[in-house]
Amino acid sequence: MNFLPSFLVLVCGVLCCNGAFSGLNFKGVPASFFQGEGPFVDTFITIKNGSLKGKVGSTIGNYKMYSFLSIPYAKAPIGNLRFKAPEPFEDAWGNQTRDATALPPSCPQFSPAISASNEDCLFLNVYSTKDPAVDAPSDLPVMVFIHGGGFTGGESTYYSGAKLLVNGGVVVILHYRLGALGFLSTNDEVSPGNYGLKDMVQALRWVQENVASFGGNPKNVTVFGESAGGAASIFMLVSPLAKGLFNKVIAQSGSALSEWALDRKPFEASQHLADLVGCPNRTSTEIVTCLRTVPWETLVEVAKKKEDDAYAKLDLGLGFVTPTIEPKLPGAFITEDPLTLLNEGEIADVPVILGATLHEGSYVLGLLYRAYLGPDGRVNDTQWMRNDLIPSLLSVFGVSELSGAGAISETTALAYMPGSTRENFTEIMPNLVDMMGVFFMKASTLKTADILSRRLSSVYLYSVEEFSKNTMWVWLFRGEDSPPINPGITHADDLMYIFPMPVIPSPTDTAFSKIMSGMWSNFAFTGNPTPSPSEQYPTWPKYTVKDQQYMRLNITSRVDVSYHSSWTPRGFVAH
**Separation between Cα atoms, residue 489 and residue 502, nearest integer Å:** 17
Q: Known catalytic residue: 227?
A: yes
Calculate mean pLDDT across residues 169-177: 97
Compare 179 and 14 and report the one with higher pLDDT: 179
Q: Give the H or E element holding residue 50.
A: strand 50-58
Which sequence spans correspond to the domains of the chain?
15-262+327-350, 356-380+424-571
Q: Say what the pLDDT of residue 60 is.
A: 81
CA 362 to chain centre: 17
The pLDDT score that the predictor gives to residue 21 is: 37
Burial status of residue 157 (CB atoms within 10 A of its CB: 0-12, 13-18, 19 or more): buried
Tell me how far the alpha carbon of residue 359 is from its chain's centroid: 17
List the catalytic residue out of 360, 444, 465, 468. Answer: 360
Report the distance separating Cα 483 and Cα 173, nearest Å. Answer: 33
CA angle at residue 302 from 301 to 307, to 5 degrees?
110
Nearest to 140 by CA among 233, 73, 63: 63
How would you classify the pairing of strands 123-128 and 97-99?
Answer: unpaired
Distances (CA, A) of 489 to 296, 355, 360: 36, 13, 7
For the cut 50, the answer to whether the pLDDT of residue 317 exceeds it is: no
Q: Which CATH class is domain 15-262+327-350?
A: alpha beta
Q: 84 near 77, Cβ under 8 Å?
A: yes
Q: What is the arithmetic mean of pLDDT over 54-74?
A: 92
Q: What is the model's pTM?
A: 0.92
DSSP 369: I
pLDDT at 250: 99
Rounded mean pLDDT of the chain? Answer: 86
Evaluate whether 261 touches 323 at the Cβ level (below 8 Å): yes
Share of the chain above pLDDT 90, in %: 61
Q: What's the CA gap between 237 and 254, in Å, rounded? A: 14
Nearest to 154 by CA among 228, 64, 236, 231: 228
Res 517: pLDDT:
97
What are the helix (H) ranges across 360-477?
361-368, 382-384, 390-396, 405-416, 425-437, 443-455, 473-476
435 pLDDT tier (thresholds 50, 70, 90): confident
Considering the candidates 70, 185, 227, 458, report the single residue annotated as catalytic: 227
The closest of 399, 381, 376, 402 to 2, measured between CA atoms, is 376
Q: Which has the closest alpha carbon to 104: 179, 159, 181, 180?
A: 159
Pairing of strands 248-252, 216-226: parallel
pLDDT value at position 489?
A: 96
For 211-223, write each residue's pLDDT tens digit.
999 999 999 999 9
Burial class (CB in 10 A: 0-12, 13-18, 19+), 384: middle
User: Per-residue confidence at 568, pLDDT binned at 50, 70, 90?
Assistant: low
Is the backbone of residue 70 left (phi > 0), alpha (psi -120 to 50) or beta?
A: left
> What pLDDT sits at residue 575?
33
**Tens of pLDDT along 252-302?**
999 999 988 998 889 988 998 999 999 999 999 999 999 999 999 999 888
Reported confidence tier of residue 152, pLDDT bands at 50, 70, 90? confident
Type of residue at 8: L
For residues 160 and 372, which has the higher predicted lDDT (pLDDT)?
160
The answer to whether 54 touches 43, Cβ cutoff 8 Å, is yes
Residues in the chain: 575
Report the CATH fold assignment for 356-380+424-571. Answer: Rossmann fold (3.40.50)
Q: Which residues of 272-295 are buried (b: 16+ CB within 10 A; e: fewer)?
A: bbbebbebebeebeebbeebbebe
CB 491 within 8 A of CB 357: yes
Sign of the torsion formed by the C-alpha atoms of 143, 147, 150 and 152: negative
Q: Is 412 helix (H, G, I), strand (E, B) or coil?
A: helix
Lowest mean pLDDT among 157-171, 392-406, 457-471, 508-522: 392-406
Instruction: In whole angstroms, give the CA distance from residue 343 to residue 327.
Output: 20
pLDDT score for 5: 46
Q: What is the mean pLDDT of residues 502-514?
A: 93
Q: Are strands 50-58 and 97-99 parallel, antiparallel or unpaired?
A: parallel
Tens-digit pLDDT profile for residues 187-245: 999 999 999 999 999 999 999 999 999 999 999 999 999 999 999 999 999 999 999 99
Question: CA 192, 194, 200, 204 torsion: positive or negative?
Answer: negative
Identical fold for domains 15-262+327-350 and 356-380+424-571, yes or no, is yes
Question: Using an 8 Å Cβ cutoff, are 296 and 119 in contact?
Answer: yes
Per-residue pLDDT tens digits for 123-132: 999 999 998 8
Cα 476 from Cα 150, distance rounded (Å): 14
When computed from its CA atoms, the radius of gyration of the chain, rounded to whole angstroms, is 23
Distance CA 158, CA 333 (A): 28
pLDDT > 70: percent of the chain: 83
* Catalytic residue list contains 360: yes
Pairing of strands 50-58, 37-47: antiparallel
